[in-house]
Chain A
Amino acid sequence: MVTELAPLSPDLDHFALFGFDRKLVLDSAALDAAFLRLSRECHPDRYAVAEPEIRAVAERNSARVNDAKRVLSDPVRRAEYVLELAGVERPDGEAKCPPDLLMEVFELREKLMEDPGPELVERVLSLFADVEEKLDGLFSRHDAAADDPSRLEALRGIRETLDRRKFLMNLTREVEGTLGKP
């Protein structure tokens, strides 16, 4: 029976916990492998007959691993997390729809009311694909950055693009709500 169990260090961020560098492009097989290794170590099943204090530590450690896995395995949440770690904030504090997108959204909404057809779905999907592509490029730029200033620049771009993505998501939902799922 286990008589001692240390809490995972609170100083480790999600990447460090999994033994990874702070990169935005992650190999999902490596992530899964690291997750399983940590889970086998931390899972409360291993400590079920131990003292209550040890069981409590195991629950918390395991939750930590699972929480980290949830963030790391989703590219968007992963990016948001890195922005948070790097302390990158929006210029004026809150997410705002970029002006060009605002125009676009405005027009699309109007069309949606008048003539909701399949071209509309196409249009939204292509806007969405653009954003995803841009994000991928920025992720790679971030990971390849040679110094802090260029990394920070990539992160600022990511901040803006993620917000753009969010507004588009809402629009997609609206279109789906009117037209049914494409």
Chain B
Amino acid sequence: MPAYSKAVMDHFENPRNVGRIEDADGIGEVGNARCGDIMKMYLKIDDDVITDVKFNTFGCGAAIATSSMATELIKGKTIDEVLTLTNKAVVEALDGLPPLKVHCSVLAEEAVKSALVDYYNKSGRAKPKALEDFKVNGDAHDAPTNS
């Protein structure tokens, strides 16, 4: 097993913002069960500010820790600020990830962005430039038992 930093283990053991938001303004789901990681991110957005965020994750220690850290990094931030969030920031905030696990942080970034895309689609507002050609790498919303 990979050696995880203290910060990763802390976010794995005590994940922040776990759960669902029933009346979420935007929901994003990325990854697929085939590869062993699925992240689902729920956002409440008020006046372009992320007022609440919750997540659910199926995956390894790093998948859970990066989801948790991503929610911490975006809570209370404006959408513009959130759009500058990269997977690198998540990795740094966790004091690093084993090389094999960096893809989990990419997934976390994509989960946030995909929830924002959902928000813009639902609200009918024009998407900011940064989200215009956003595509997730993993085929999200895949039925979990497809093999």
Q: Do A and B bind each other?
A: no
Q: Which residues on B are within 8 Å of A, measured CB to CB?
A: none
Q: Which residues on A are within 8 Å of B, measured CB to CB?
A: none
